[in-house]
Structure 1
Amino acid sequence: MTLQYQTRLKGTLAVTDTYFTEQKLQKEKGLYKFLWVRKGYIIVEIDHQEMTLYQDDVISLTHLQHLELKACEGEHLTLLFNSNFYCIYGNDREVSCSGFLFNGSSHLVRFTLNESEHKELTNIVGALKSEFSIADSLQEEMLRIQLKRFIIQCTRIARNRLDITPKKEYSFEVVRKFYNLVDEHFRTKKQVQDYADILYKSPKTLSNIFSICNLPSPLRIIHERVEVEAKRLLLYSNKSVKEITDILGFEDQATFSRFFKKMTGLSAIQFRHEQANIS
């Protein structure tokens, strides 16, 4: 069953247990997604990487990430929304998920619900579903409130899994800002110093902060963001390597080719051909 609400300003909110057969929703651009396995397991492919999700696993995806179902032996629920319905950047102070639950990198946020967390999210989804049937002047805002509750609860759970204590709060906020800045500027800024300047930190301070949070180095995160965008363009567009070089801000094709081979062990052409053969 699929429940969907659309605003006059093209805002979309949807809850469905049949997302992978909903062609219209799959084709709609700009949707952020929560995927929650309710029973059994499902096998999905995200940006051409296969992943098995088990009961009570939850993942969050941006509109940049390509999601396909490979196998399903159970039940799953998908919660979808776009920025016109709820802007995670403009309302970051409310939900603190930008650059954490949702970023364009290859690092997905994935967590497994315990019994109390399962009950809490189930209650929120129940309240959300009930609001779809109440067609009055308050419906849109009530739907938005339930969506915010769901996002906040997922943010809390994910932060708990990463052991974000009050002592780590400052470091965590710096990390979120860094991820957001990388998403915004990775095509033109590829050095840690570039981001350190924006954040008024030294590169060494940034490295220490990421170490405290048990995350890869800032430079690695920048490189992986460029890498994943290159892969998306190679896999899901018809753009030539020369065009991709320009889009990603490399000075010439040789520089991009060296970077891509260093990151993946393959040339861009080899990668595209190999993945096409696998498909």
Structure 2
Amino acid sequence: MGLQDFVFEDSYKKFGLHLFSKGNLETINSTQFRPYIKILFVPAGYELTVDFNHYKTDGPTLFFLTYQYLDIKNADSDEASFLYYNRDFYCIQIHDKEVACDGLLFHNVFEIPKVELDDSEAVIVENLLENIKDELETKESSAEEMIRTYLKQLIIRATRNWKKQNLNTEISKATSSEFETFRDFSRVLEIHYREKHNVAEYAELLHMAPKTLTHKFKSLNLASPNQLIINRILLEAKRLLFYTDKAVKEIAYDLGYEDPAYFNRLFTSKVGSTPVNFKKNYITGKKYNI
């Protein structure tokens, strides 16, 4: 069966919905969607890799991706949905930053891109997706705004569920100010990890002392800001090693390290393998975790 494809597009904005199953994974796995923000709604029985994390769905699950690499390795015959759009189509302003195009679901220090849905939530998401499909098919002049409204509802509901499923008790009980620090750090880390490598630089961006930032993360029972910075850098290093032909020296420079030997030592100490061996061993099936 061919891929069912529904698309809205004008000069700057693009939004699409694909319906797929095990018979047509090639298009979904291709690199053509990498520049877009992406949401997958998959039923039980799907196996997929997002970057270097592997998932098997036991029930309906939403996945939220930006530039991560996606590889759906196995799919059930039940149909799945794939939404993709650019920032010109949907990017909520700063007062709604928790559900923005770079909001909690898409960039967070936990690197958890999924939300599992119970039966009632799955029905609600299915209805929102059906409404989006109907709007794409009708092509009414108001369709664009209706689609954006349904998309925001989906993101809001998923954000609520993500917080329930992934935030520990300390964060759940945190004040609004403490939680915003956690979110703001995730956001600025995603923007600046290539050129800013120490806690003081991020503390300055967040208008607080480095000790204050570190203390806030400790009080929330999170890893230290320094460790989270390193984790993000190493994740990008793994991406570049595995998915490009760049030399280790070039990757080091890309990630802001003027001394490739230092970068090599950092990667080896944290990952447990040299960059060259990581690439070779990962291809042959041996996995490493940060």
TM-score range, shorter chain: 0.7 to 0.9
Asked if structure 2 preserves the Cα contact closer than 8 Å seen for 1:36 and 1:59, the reply is yes
- Once residues 23 and 158 of structure 1 are traced to their aligned partners in structure 2, the CA distance between those partners, rounded to angstroms, is 24
2:187 corresponds in structure 1 to 180
The alignment's TM-score, normalised by the length of structure 2, stands at 0.85
What amino acid does structure 2 have at the position aligned with 1:114? D
Q: 167-176 or 194-203: which moved more?
A: 167-176
CA shift for structure 1 position 60: 1.3
The CA deviation string for residues 193-232 of structure 1, in whole angstroms up to 9 with x for no partner, is 1111111222232233324444322111100110001011
Structure 2 match to 1:27? 32
CA distance in 2 between counterparts of 1:7 and 1:165 reads 41
What is the identity, as a one-letter code, of the residue corresponding to 2:209?
A: S
**Is 1:143 matched with 2:147?**
yes
Q: CA deviation at 1:48?
A: 3.6
| The 10-residue stretch of structure 1 (97-106 or 189-198) with the greater mean CA deviation from structure 2 | 97-106
Farther-moved stretch of structure 1 (200-209 vs 171-180): 200-209
Q: Is the 8 A contact 2:29 2:70 kept in 1?
A: no
Relative to structure 1, the CA distance from residue 168 to residue 52 in structure 2 (aligned partners, 3 Å threshold; closer, same or farther) is farther
Matches within 5 A, 1:75-224: 75=78, 76-87=80-91, 91-94=93-96, 96-97=98-99, 98-103=102-107, 107-161=111-165, 162=167, 165=172, 167-224=174-231
Q: CA–CA distance in 2 between the matches of 1:264 and 1:118?
A: 37
Which amino acid in the other structure matches residue 151 of structure 1?
I
CA contact (8 A) 2:108 2:183 kept: no
2:58 corresponds to: 54
Aligned pair partner of 1:68 in 68, 71, 85: 71
1:7-18 pair list within 5 angstroms: 7-18=10-21
Change (3 A) 1:54 1:34: farther
Q: Which stretch of the first structure deviates more once superposed, 168-177 or 16-25?
A: 16-25
Offset of residue 233 of structure 1: 0.7
Counterpart residue identity of residue 67, structure 1: L
Aligned 8 A contact 2:17 2:133 in 1: no
User: Which residue identity is paired with 1:69?
Assistant: I
Gap runs ≥5 in structure 1: none
Which whole-Å CA distance do the structure 2 matches of 1:35 and 1:158 have between them?
A: 15
Q: Distance in 2 between matches of 1:114 and 1:214?
A: 28
Distance across 2 between alignment mates of 1:78 and 1:46: 14
Q: Is 2:174–2:220's contact at 8 Å kept on the other side of the alignment?
A: no
Cα distance change, pair 150–143 in 1 and its aligned pair in 2 (3 A): same
- Alignment match, 1:276: 283
Q: CA RMSD in A?
A: 2.4
Counterpart Cα distance in 1 of 2:257 and 2:272: 19
Residues 1:35 and 1:210: Cα distance change in structure 2 (over 3 Å):
farther
Q: How many residue pairs align between the two structures?
A: 275
Q: Which has the higher contact order (CA 8 A, sep 6+)?
A: 1
Equivalent AA in structure 2 for residue 94 of structure 1? D
The 4+ residue runs of structure 1 with deviation greater than 6 A are none
Does 40-49 or 205-214 show the bigger shift?
Answer: 205-214
- Structure 2, unpaired ranges of 5+: none
How many Å separate the matches in 1 of 2:195 and 2:237?
Answer: 14
Aligned residues of 1:46 and 1:67 also touching (Cα < 8 A): yes
For residues 24 and 203 of structure 1, the distance between their equivalents in structure 2, rounded to whole angstroms, comes to 41
2:284 maps to amino acid = N
Aligned to 1:225: 232
